[in-house]
Structure 1
Amino acid sequence: MPNVPENSATDRPATEHGPRPGARGVLTALLDSPFAGMSPWILMALVTGPGRFEEAAASAFALSLLLVVGTHRRGSSFKLLELFDVAYFGTMAALALFASDRVIDWLEKWGGEMTNVALVAFALGSILVRQPFTLQYARETTEPEYWTSPLFLRINYVITWAWVGGFAVAAISGAVGDIVLDDPNNFWTGWIIQIGGTVFAIAFTEFYPDYATYHAAVREGWPTDEEPQSMFHLFEWVPGYVLAIGIAGLLTEELSTAVGIGVIVVGAVGIKVFRQLTAAFDTRLAQTVPGTSKEA
């Protein structure tokens, strides 16, 4: 298939189909994103705990099966991540049913770290075999003629590396909690840092395609209707996440009242400051970059 042409406003490797209205459209968009394949892992993390490994494994396995069935009924292609979910959580569910109490106790302590390592291995493995797992999701919202374009492929390699990084942060944080602190449910290592790594990967997945497409258009002289975005957009989630940390810390009593309120204030103020900084840098880019595009 030829590379992306340069003489048409529609010749962009990240062209998406029109929006799908209503709740059905939101559900479809969710199923067409890597977050769908991540949902069983999130469910496992939320449900698991002392004496609840069986329930957690069964719930995650049921959700992974539901996603695969839903994908088939929608006529979409099966995703590697969703099939991996079924295989992994099917194994965990089988162990929960047939393993000895001693094995179950071991899994309750180390199961979280096992899932983190499994996700790192899966994401990195998909890169090594030259099939980054985000490709299958990106193809659901991209015209087929762009699937082999160098830009489309490069975007998905970069995004998959971001997920490798997010999973690795969770794995390292979990290892510190399990091995160093001997506390798998530690507020910081078991939850805040791990969730933060995942949220970053999700934010990067949303941000990078338009960002990379725009800058490629400027560099190569392609016409584009993408708006320039500063890197601040990639971290828009941080102040809100800080705010959520303060609230969660107060509710779980992991933070003192003074510290929790202070964190909440920092997050709330940060949201406003970040919006102002983002708008200012976007305006600056809009004033400078388009001129470069016209000269290209």
Structure 2
Amino acid sequence: MKAASSTAPGGRLAAALESPFVGMSPWIVFSVLVGPGRFGLAVGLALGLSVAVFCAARRLYRGASLKILEVADVLFFAVLAVVGVASSPATHRWLETYAGEISNLMLVVIAFASMAVRVPFTMQYGRERVGPEYWKSPEFLHINYVITGVWGTAFLVAALAGGFGDLVLHNPDNLWTAWIIQIAAMVTAMSFTEWYPQVVQARTHGAGTPPPVRNLLTPLAALIIPVGVVSLIFDAAASWFGVGLILIGVILARAINKDVEMTPRGGEHPPRKRSPWRLR
């Protein structure tokens, strides 16, 4: 079922709801925020966001089938909120430490289970952005399996990083394991979601030159500089390491910008059509 166009009332909301990022946003918010003293805030925001997304989607897409993520969002965070309210102080402290890893692992299960039953969760969003004639095309199916797998892997990396901080470092608020690595995994998955459909379209249909790998790496390169600054501010690593990250980020940014400026603008690289399978 198609939503209104981006120029119609509610069009921007429709465009947002058609993106899998919206369905994953409660999990990302919760994973990044949760920690000692922040469980209530994290689960409250995640549940509120889940309910808002669910209600907005039901209002905009009347009669449309429920999405896996929409249902999982509301159920998981509602149960987590009830458990948090009813739990003992000891259980509450345990949730503050490990709930982030539980939520990340839950999304890993959702991602790979949806692939196992042949309905990768990104496919439900993709179908709202393309015509029915594309739904069973090999390219559309391939793109959604790959992107769903990448998101599952990203949340697995986040869970492992958080678990390392909790169980090995005994520091749930470790800057690297609780924040930087997890955010980098999410940024990588987001960038891949934008980049990969264009690659498939170019290779399959000859729709222009495939986007270079630098397009995939640009968001990560942009992340290196603030990571270096934050590591210096919070003394999260040796000073030389933080300075090195900043220098590497500057060098990569300059190299990418120089590469973009040197790219011919004539007929050598024909304009690339918007991929009908892009999920954003």
Shorter-chain TM range is 0.7 to 0.9
- Counting only pairs closer than 5 Å after superposition, residues 167-206 of structure 1 correspond to structure 2 as 167-206=155-194
Q: Which residue, 232, 235, 241 being the options, matches 2:223? A: 241
Distance of aligned partners of 1:127 and 1:96 in 2 relative to their CA distance in 1, 3 Å threshold: same
The runs of at least 4 consecutive aligned structure 1 residues that moved more than 4 Å come to 16-19, 21-27, 255-259, 286-290
Partner of 1:276: 258
* Preserved CA contact (<8 Å) 1:17 1:142: no
Percent identity (aligned): 37
For 1:276 and 1:17, the matched residues in 2 are separated by: 40
User: Normalised by the size of structure 1, how large is the TM-score?
Assistant: 0.80
Q: Which residue does the alignment assign to 2:45?
A: 59
Structure ID, larger Rg: 1
Q: Distance in 1 between matches of 2:11 and 2:191?
A: 20
| SS at structure 2 position matched to 1:236 | helix
Contiguous gaps of at least 5 residues in structure 2: 272-280
- Determine the C-alpha separation between the residues in 1 that align with 2:235 and 2:204: 48
Whole-Å separation in 1 of the counterparts to 2:7 and 2:261: 28
8 Å CA contact 2:27–2:104 kept in 1: the answer is no
Aligned length: 267
Q: Is the Cα–Cα contact under 8 Å of residues 4 and 10 in structure 2 kept in the other structure?
A: no
Shift of 1:162: 1.0
Structure 2 residue aligned with 1:138: 126
RMSD over aligned Cα atoms: 2.9
- What's the CA shift for 1:244? 2.1
TM-score (norm 2): 0.85
The answer to whether the 8 Å contact 1:232/1:278 transfers is no
Shift of residue 248, structure 1, vs aligned partner: 2.5
| Offset, 1:95 | 0.6
Relative distance call for 1:287 and 1:18 in structure 2 (3 A) is farther
Cα gap change, 1:113/1:20 in structure 2, threshold over 3 Å: closer, same or farther? same
**2:35 corresponds to:** 49
Aligned-pair distance for 1:206? Answer: 0.5
Unaligned runs of 5+ in 1: 1-15, 219-223, 291-296
How far did residue 97 of structure 1 move? 1.2
CA distance in 1, matches of 2:232, 2:3: 43
Shift of 1:274: 1.8
Where in structure 2 are the equivalents of 1:119-130 lying within 5 Å?
A: 119-130=107-118
Report the counterpart of residue 110 of structure 1 in structure 2: 98
